[in-house]
Each structure stands twice: as structure tokens, then as C-alpha cells.
């Protein structure tokens, strides 16, 4: 039974084939925009990676995931939940996230909207350029994920709780966690 973790970064899941665009010890270097290089997959995990794709890449990836999953195979996706982040912004509480943002987030920036923008579509890495943007490209919530999953053929789409085995801990309080079945 094949289980894969797409966009693993350095967070490797034991018992899974871990893939990431960057070279990470223990992970296969692979750009998920090129598809999923496995068949007969039982479970696909995508934690804090899906939002880095543009809409067309995201749709293509979900169709590819659907095609490589076994019947009744599961996909689990976690992304920053814009519903949560917008509530923090509207209540003037974006500084709650200062510990997981670059230093400039809390030094000199006052605008809650700019801080929301940094978290929503900002860049978090030094190698990002206009030609090679590594930040978030999709703003998502449960309804948006559900729509994308449904159009790819998935069913039984539901919210699930944060699970430290699959999900990045740093995003546990401001993300949506979704599972769907082929």
C-alpha cells in the first residue's frame, strides 16, 4: 500500500513516500506540478503546500491525485484558513501570529490588512523573486477546498481535526484540515 506526503519539506512522515521540490534528506526531490509519480495510492497527505500552487496547478494536482488513488483512497489537505485569518484581522489581533512570521511583521507594520496580506499571499523565503515566487498563491477556506475537491470527483469531503502526525504544528491554530474520499 502506497502512502505519499506531497510537499513534505523537512517534515517527513514515517511510512510515507515523502516528496518535495527542494532537496531534503529522506525526501524524493519532485515538483508536484509535474503530477504524482506513483499509482495504486492508498493515502495522500498535503500539509501547508497546496496554497503555494496557482489555481490551474491546484486543479491539475487534484485531478492527478484522484487518478492515482485507489477506490476509497483518502486525500488529506491542510491550508491556512482565510476565514480564521480574516477574523483575526477584523479584531485587530494579527500580532498573534508574529512568532511564526518574519521579523518585519511585528516591527514597524501597524496595518492589520498588510499583516493579513503577508500571511495570506506573502513570501516567506529569501529566494523568492517576481519570476520565481515561493509564497502563497491561493487563499482558501473549507468551502473553496470543497469546491476544488468536488470538481475533481472526490466525495465525502469533511473537516477533520489537526493531527500532528500529518499536519505541520506551526499552522495548527489557523488552518483548515480536510479529508475526502475517491
Please give the full DSSP string across 108-138, using - where no structure is assigned: T---HHHHHHHHHH---STT--SSS--S---
Q: How confident is the model at residue 133 (pLDDT cuts 50, 70, 90)?
A: low
In angstroms, rounded to a whole number, what is the distance separating the alpha carbons of residues 178 and 182? 13
Decide the pairing of beta strands 69-80 and 175-181. antiparallel
Residue 7 burial (C-beta neighbours within 10 Å; 0-12, 13-18, 19+): buried
Q: Which residue has the higher pLDDT, 99 or 61?
A: 61
pLDDT digits (tens, 9 = 90+) for 26-63: 999 999 999 999 999 999 999 999 999 999 999 999 99
**73 and 87: one domain?**
no
Q: Which of 39-43, 51-55, 95-99, 154-158 has the lowest mean pLDDT?
A: 95-99
Residue 58 phi/psi, 5-degree rounding, is -65, -45
Q: Quick one: average pLDDT of 142-169? A: 96
CATH of residue 73's domain is 3.40.50.150
**29 and 95: one domain?**
no
In angstroms, rounded to a whole number, what is the distance separating the alpha carbons of residues 167 and 103? 24
Q: Quick one: average pLDDT of 77-84? A: 96
**7 and 73: one domain?**
yes
Q: Which of 118, 137, 156 is the last residue of a domain?
A: 137
**67 and 150: one domain?**
yes
Find the domain containing 112 and state its range.
Answer: 82-137
In angstroms, rounded to a whole number, what is the distance separating the alpha carbons of residues 102 and 38? 36
- Tally of domains within the chain: 2
Q: How many residues does the chain have?
A: 182
**95 and 64: one domain?**
no
Neighbours of 159 (CB within 10 A): 12
Q: Which of 137, 153, 169 is the last residue of a domain?
A: 137
Predicted local distance difference test score (pLDDT) of residue 58: 97
**155 and 182: one domain?**
yes
Contact 44, 16 (CB under 8 A): no
Amino acid at each position: 500500500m502506497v502512502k505519499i506526503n506531497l510537499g513534505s519539506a523537512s517534515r517527513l512522515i514515517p511510512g510515507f513516500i515523502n516528496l518535495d521540490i527542494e532537496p531534503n534528506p529522506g525526501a524524493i526531490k519532485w515538483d508536484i506540478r509535474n503530477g504524482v509519480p506513483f499509482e495504486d495510492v492508498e493515502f495522500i497527505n498535503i500539509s501547508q503546500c497546496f496554497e503555494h500552487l496557482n489555481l490551474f496547478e491546484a486543479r491539475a494536482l487534484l485531478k492527478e491525485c484522484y487518478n492515482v488513488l485507489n477506490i476509497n483512497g483518502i486525500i488529506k489537505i491542510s491550508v491556512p484558513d482565510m476565514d480564521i485569518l480574516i477574523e483575526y484581522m477584523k479584531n485587530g489581533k494579527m500580532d498573534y501570529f508574529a512568532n511564526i512570521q518574519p521579523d518585519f511583521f511585528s516591527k514597524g507594520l501597524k496595518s492589520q490588512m498588510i499583516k493579513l496580506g503577508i500571511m495570506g499571499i506573502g513570501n516567506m523565503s529569501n529566494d523568492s523573486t517576481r519570476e520565481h515566487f515561493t509564497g502563497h498563491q491561493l487563499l482558501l477556506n473549507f468551502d473553496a477546498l470543497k469546491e476544488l475537491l468536488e470538481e475533481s470527483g472526490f466525495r465525502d469531503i469533511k473537516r477533520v481535526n489537526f493531527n500532528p502526525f500529518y499536519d505541520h504544528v506551526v499552522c495548527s491554530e489557523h488552518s483548515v484540515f480536510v479529508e475526502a474520499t475517491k
